[in-house]
Amino acid sequence: MSKNVVLWGCGQMAEVAYFYLTNDSEYDVVAFCMDKKYIACETFHEKPVIAFEDIDKIFPPEDVDLCFLISYSKMNDLRTEKYLEAKKKGYKFISYVSSKASYYNTQIGENTFIMENNVIQPYTQIGNNVIMWSGNHLGHHSIIEDNCFVASQVVISGSTIIGQNSFLGVNSTVRDNVRIGKYNLIGAGTVILKDTEDYDVYTTRETIKIEKKSTDVRHI
């Protein structure tokens, strides 16, 4: 694979990807790309910003690989769409695993981005087009299918399957031997103890605010 990489976008996600690849990988980011109608600047981090529609004319597939760190918008469908469009153009995708993540013999797909302090136990599988933000736990013999987004401090216990295009919010927990259906939205702080159906949404109530000032509380 090429060590030259083109990233997607000019926003915070692109900036995060640029930081990690520049400071913690062997890859050289040579440009950013996005849909032509959304381009508002010629350069980003002193690299050219090019139209995705024209990418193969400027950086053909044999010269660069891609990395699309796109958010969970539309249950990860936007990232999935752009990933598949680029594949049709003949591009390959890199995957990034932070040097500060712990993993063993895990099978990791392409265009998967794993940040620092993820603990990924043996005999696990992570599909294509997956984002794992910082500080998660993926238990042994578990599978994360394609196009998922796992936010920070998520606990996925052993022998669990996370269905494709699912989103797991900050501090959510999935017990062992559970199967999460595809396109599940698991909200922040949610605990899942049994199998879910496709397209399920789980959330918890907000923390209750008491009608006192903090200075009036005698015991903490």
Q: Which two tokens stand for residue 201?
A: 């949404």
Taking alpha carbons only, the member of 34, 26, 33, 32 closest to residue 2 is 26
Q: Residue 206: pLDDT band by 50, 70, 90 thresholds?
A: confident
pLDDT given at position 215: 86
pLDDT given at position 201: 98
pLDDT given at position 16: 98
What are the backbone angles phi and psi of residue 194, rounded to the nearest 5°? -150, 170
74-120 confidence digits (pLDDT tens): 999 999 999 999 999 999 999 999 999 999 889 999 999 999 999 99
Q: Do residues 98 and 118 make contact, with C-beta atoms less than 8 angstroms apart? A: yes
Q: What is the pTM of this model?
A: 0.94
pLDDT given at position 216: 86
120-151 confidence digits (pLDDT tens): 999 999 999 999 999 999 999 999 999 999 99
For the chain, the 3-state helix, strand and coil shares in percent, each to the nearest 5, are 15, 25, 55
* Three-class DSSP category at 14: helix
201-202 sheet: strands from edge to edge: 96-97, 113-114, 131-132, 149-150, 167-168, 185-186, 201-202
Distance CA 163, CA 166 (A): 6
What is the C-alpha radius of gyration for the chain, rounded to an integer number of angstroms?
A: 19
DSSP bridge partners of 15: none
pLDDT given at position 68: 98
Q: Which residue has the higher pLDDT, 158 or 205?
A: 158
Q: Tell me which long-range contacts 40-48 makes (C-beta under 8 A, separation of at least 24).
A: 40/10, 41/10, 44/10, 44/14, 45/15, 45/18
Give percent of the chain with pLDDT exceeding 90. Answer: 91
pLDDT given at position 217: 84
Q: Cβ–Cβ contacts within 10 Å for residue 83, how many?
A: 22
pLDDT given at position 210: 85
Q: Residue 204: pLDDT band by 50, 70, 90 thresholds?
A: very high
Q: Do residues 186 and 163 make contact, with C-beta atoms less than 8 angstroms apart? A: no
Distance CA 154, CA 172 (A): 5
Say which residue the tokens 């699309």 belong to.
68
pLDDT given at position 185: 98
Taking alpha carbons only, the member of 2, 8, 110, 6 closest to residue 58 is 6
Q: At 142, which amino acid appears?
A: S
35-52 confidence digits (pLDDT tens): 999 999 999 999 999 999
Q: Do residues 133 and 119 make contact, with C-beta atoms less than 8 angstroms apart? A: no
Mean pLDDT within 192-210: 93
Taking alpha carbons only, the member of 74, 62, 79, 75 closest to residue 7 is 79
